[in-house]
Structure 1
Amino acid sequence: MSLFKRNPFGHILFIKKWLIRIMAVITHQRYKRFNKLEIEGSDIIRSLPSENVLFVSNHQTYFADVVAMFHVFNASLSGRENTIKNLGYIWKPKLNMYYIAAAETMKKNLMTKVFAYAGSISVERTWRSEGKDVNRQVKMSDISSIGKALDDGWVITFPQGTTTPWKPLRKGTSHIIKKYKPIVVPVVIDGFRRSFDKKGLRIKKKGILQSMVIKEPLEIDYENESFDSIIEKLEYAIEQHPSFLKVISKKDLKAIEEENKQREF
């Protein structure tokens, strides 16, 4: 690999590789020693093509979720079976892996800019800005950037656009799916909001069992399926459809809501 070879967004791959390696070393014990990450479905990762794959997941923290996925996906590609044991897998990380994040979040400080260089596709939120509700049009350049990333490799998205559970999915995700026709892989995570703060940077509690379930790709009729139908399919796949609330007791739901209030900032 040329020392100054760049990805489609102009990022130097040599620098990106070392940023991923360093962040992996710093964060590995957060999922391996302080807490335990239970993984299911790593064989699915190894069966996927190298590009045009969209991972769709529920969201619990700003950064810990996606960092865990970088660990799990790279470990799986190196042949590990549902484990991130032995950090050697990060020596040759998958460099064409991206995640969608709010532009205002990724510009806040040096650390978020480092996270951005490591793989974010920064988009402008249409419903929230600087802590206030807004209503603005989707930027076509943001859609094009996501398409460019899919052409190059894998993209991770959190279609609820918030770490609060049970919120409706943003319909923009279904538009991306219809337009670019990626393989759509659902991912369901749990335990991250109990073990980390909202940003996913500080360990809030140790000894928490975290989990990540990678599911089989969804069957989607890209030409004939409606946007609403795709959204509903995604909601069920990442276990955020309103019907899932029926199996949660009022006591547990209240506890979740109280915890989310304490984590607001």
Structure 2
Amino acid sequence: MGLFKRNPFGHILILKKWLIRLFGVISHRRFRGFNELQIVGSEIIKDLPDTNVLFISNHQTYFADVVSMFHVFNASLSGRVDSIKNVGYIWNPKLNMYYVAAKETMKAGLLPKIFAYMGSISIERTWRSEGQDINRQVKMSDISSIAKALDDGWVITFPQGTTTPFKPVRKGTAHIIKRYKPVVVPIVIDGFRRSFDKKGLRIKKKNIMQTFEIKAPLEIDYENESFDDIVTKIEYAIEQHPSFLKVLSKKAIKEQEELDKLRKW
């Protein structure tokens, strides 16, 4: 019976462990080889509680963002600080780790279905479906699934719900935070859009500097802060607030391009 122990979503843990091991080894060189992932703040990970932690992040690719987090989190839990050197950390992965993803994305082919088994909380988007803008009610079963995952462990979410930068943060994340009061840890990533294709499966360019910053947990007054207050706090934390947008002069753009060249490895 113990060999086929399952998590709250019915996934067999030993199978999930071997899938994470396999794809962890396969994907490692994408972040330490073809490109080098520069990590900041991973010492925060080992001090987090084992359950009811919500990671919020900006979003650049469908899958590479999450895969990098599995690497960084497991490496940090094994004692590595700001490093994913030596993929041996993936041998004993954290199994109660989940991520929120669009149901239509996770059903689109065999590979996404395998990724889903490794930890997806697949939900129906309320604002977009099959490339069309829509407006439908939030499914309570989706909220219950996120709550179940928080109760069991850690959850990764991309509160903008899209890989397009500077799109508004969805209020659903604020509702989850106020209702379930998780520890909220912001993450800011960059370079993934340049190094991978949109799905995050194919390497588009090599020698791109990828950055991964883990920030201190947000201070949130769960009882008194409004949904709008929490949304604004999230936007600033993941550096997607409109104030981060600014019009650059031609000179500044050229200087930035030169800097990007220098940042290449």
Q: TM-score range by the shorter chain?
A: over 0.9
Aligned partners of 1:250 and 1:86: how far apart in 2?
43
Q: How far did residue 250 of structure 1 move?
A: 6.2
2:37 corresponding residue in structure 1: 37
Aligned partners of 1:193 and 1:24: how far apart in 2?
20
Deviation digits for residues 51-84 of structure 1, max 9, x if unmatched?
Answer: 0000000000000000000000000000001000
Q: 3-state DSSP class of the match of 1:32?
A: coil
* Misfit runs of 4+, over 3 Å: none
Structure 2 gap ranges (5+): 257-265
1:103 corresponding residue in structure 2: 103
**Residues 166-185 of structure 1: matches in 2 within 5 Å?**
166-185=166-185
Aligned CA RMSD, in angstroms, stands at 1.2
1:120 corresponding residue in structure 2: 120
Q: How far did residue 2 of structure 1 move?
A: 2.0
Code of the residue aligned with 2:165 in structure 1: it is P
1:22 corresponding residue in structure 2: 22
Code of the residue aligned with 1:88 in structure 2: it is G
Alignment pair present for 1:249 and 2:256: no
Change (3 A) 1:250 1:60: farther
Aligned partners of 2:248 and 2:9: how far apart in 1?
46
Q: 3-state DSSP class of the match of 2:85?
A: coil
2:263 corresponding residue in structure 1: none
Deviation digits for residues 155-211 of structure 1, max 9, x if unmatched?
Answer: 000011110101000000000001100000000000000000000000000000101
TM-score (norm 1): 0.93
Q: 3-state DSSP class of the match of 2:3?
A: coil
**Residues 187-198 of structure 1: matches in 2 within 5 Å?**
187-198=187-198
1:83 corresponding residue in structure 2: 83
Code of the residue aligned with 2:209 in structure 1: it is L
Aligned partners of 2:214 and 2:113: how far apart in 1?
28
Aligned partners of 1:244 and 1:250: how far apart in 2?
16
Q: 3-state DSSP class of the match of 1:239?
A: coil
Aligned partners of 1:74 and 1:2: how far apart in 2?
23
Aligned partners of 2:24 and 2:88: how far apart in 1?
10
Aligned partners of 1:249 and 1:24: how far apart in 2?
39
**Residues 181-220 of structure 1: matches in 2 within 5 Å?**
181-220=181-220
Change (3 A) 1:22 1:250: farther
Deviation digits for residues 214-253 of structure 1, max 9, x if unmatched?
Answer: 000000010110000000000000000000002x62665x
Aligned partners of 2:122 and 2:20: how far apart in 1?
18
Aligned partners of 1:104 and 1:163: how far apart in 2?
15
Change (3 A) 1:180 1:25: same
Aligned partners of 2:108 and 2:144: how far apart in 1?
23
Aligned partners of 2:113 and 2:212: how far apart in 1?
26
Aligned partners of 1:60 and 1:152: how far apart in 2?
27
Code of the residue aligned with 1:17 in structure 2: it is K
Aligned partners of 1:78 and 1:250: how far apart in 2?
45
1:3 corresponding residue in structure 2: 3
Deviation digits for residues 83-124 of structure 1, max 9, x if unmatched?
Answer: 000011001000000000000000011100000000000000
2:259 corresponding residue in structure 1: none
Q: How far did residue 3 of structure 1 move?
A: 1.1
TM-score (norm 2): 0.93
Aligned partners of 2:170 and 2:157: how far apart in 1?
11
Q: How many residues align?
A: 252
